[in-house]
Amino acid sequence: MEKFELIAHPLPYTMGNGGDLIKHGLLAEFTDWHCREIPHSLTYYDPFGGRPWQEPVHDAVSKRIKTLEACPLKEVQSIHSEKYLGSGHIVSQISKQYENKITVFSSDSDSAARQDLEASGLNLIRLRGFNLEDGLSILQGSIDRSKHALILIDPFYDLENINKKILDKIIRKVKEDNTSIALFVLYYNAEINLWSQFKKINENLTGDSFNYISLQCDAIENSTIEGESKFHSSIILYTHNNYPNDKLNILSENVSKFSRNLTKAVGCPIGFDSQIIS
Ligand SMILES: C[S@@+](CC[C@H](N)C(=O)[O-])C[C@H]1O[C@@H](n2cnc3c(N)ncnc32)[C@H](O)[C@@H]1O
């Protein structure tokens, strides 16, 4: 499965920045929880897959990972401590600990990134209705509705295009299928109005009828880690309607604990919010 001989390509940001840590931490908590608590297998899709990993790991990122108390993200990132893994490998490493209960699919609009994702051992997404140039088209892709799935929507820096239409589609899919969706967004100070609009639409859509768990990391001023001093980041995981509440409460507690763990490791507050409808 893993072919770690691939040479990492330079990225315009440091993998393992604050945004990555909330995104990958929540993904690691969710997939570890699913493997432990839910008897069904899971299919994971990242249509905005990016590069599989970055090496060497930035010193400040390594220090944060070492400082974390035991948690699924720390366990996975410590397996290959010289590489910071992207989402597909984080999920596949967790899956390995549970007899490969999760199948991982990835894609990217950039053909070179797609080649790297495939060469590193990940499956490429091939679904009817999915256009690899447009990661959001996964929401219309022919995912088997009867099987448990998780989609990561991670369009990098694109908050202005995450409008009501997209959020509507996300909420509808989570409501109707066995698919959960994690939406990662980045925004900077000048976009605070855009963020407020997004939050309002999100609140109106989720109301008191949808379960979600979210983490938030505000910009970290004067950081030497590329990509976290300007951007605020947020990840919202909308879980589908077919998980039992007692299990969702365990997940919510795990993520809340992770937010406190990460707050200590990063040295600035990591926000946590959750709604589990009883
Ligand atoms: C931040 S990286 C993804 C990181 C990855 N999801 C992870 O967590 O490890 C964002 C990627 O999205 C890709 N991308 C940007 N716009 C896209 C689009 N419309 N459809 C598919 N991929 C896109 C970029 O090429 C880039 O590699």
Q: For residue 277, how far is its CA from the centre of ligand 1 (angstroms)?
A: 32
Contact 135/46 with Cβ under 8 angstroms?
A: no
pLDDT of residue 77: 95
Taking 90 as the threshold, does the pLDDT of residue 15 lie above it? yes
Q: DSSP label at 188?
A: E
Residues in the chain, how many?
A: 278
Between 184 and 209, the more confident residue is 184
The Cα–Cα gap between 180 and 254 comes to 17
Q: What percent of the chain has pLDDT over 70?
A: 96
Testing ligand 1's pocket by substitution, the residue of 22, 48, 154 carrying the most ligand atoms inside 8 A of its CB is: 48
Could you count the other beta carbons within 10 Å of the beta carbon of residue 142?
A: 10
CATH fold for domain 18-275: Rossmann fold (3.40.50)
Beta carbon of 228 within 6 Å of any ligand 1 atom: no
Taking 90 as the threshold, does the pLDDT of residue 17 lie above it? yes
Average pLDDT score, the chain: 93
The Cα–Cα gap between 14 and 141 comes to 31
23: nearest Cα among 100, 82, 83, 88: 88
Taking 90 as the threshold, does the pLDDT of residue 171 lie above it? yes
pLDDT of residue 106: 98
Strand order from edge to edge, sheet including 123-124: 123-124, 102-106, 42-46, 149-153, 179-188, 231-238, 212-217, 270-275
Mean pLDDT of 53-82: 94
Q: Which atom of ligand 1 is nearest to the CA of 110?
A: 25
Contact 266/21 with Cβ under 8 angstroms?
A: yes
Testing ligand 1's pocket by substitution, the residue of 20, 108, 117 carrying the most ligand atoms inside 8 A of its CB is: 108
pLDDT in tens, 250-272: 999 999 999 999 999 999 999 99
Domain extent listing, the chain: 18-275
Q: Which atom of ligand 1 is nearest to the CA of 87?
A: 9
Mean pLDDT of 150-158: 90
149: nearest Cα among 54, 230, 40, 58: 40
Mean pLDDT of 5-9: 55
> 1 falls in which pLDDT band (50, 70, 90)?
very low
Testing ligand 1's pocket by substitution, the residue of 55, 77, 109, 117 carrying the most ligand atoms inside 8 A of its CB is: 109
pLDDT of residue 8: 55
pLDDT in tens, 190-225: 999 999 999 999 999 888 889 999 999 999 999 999
Nearest CA, atom 5, ligand 1? 49
Q: DSSP label at 136?
A: G
Q: For residue 82, how far is its CA from the centre of ligand 1 (angstroms)?
A: 23
pLDDT of residue 6: 52
Taking 50 as the threshold, does the pLDDT of residue 10 lie above it? yes
Nearest CA, atom 12, ligand 1? 48
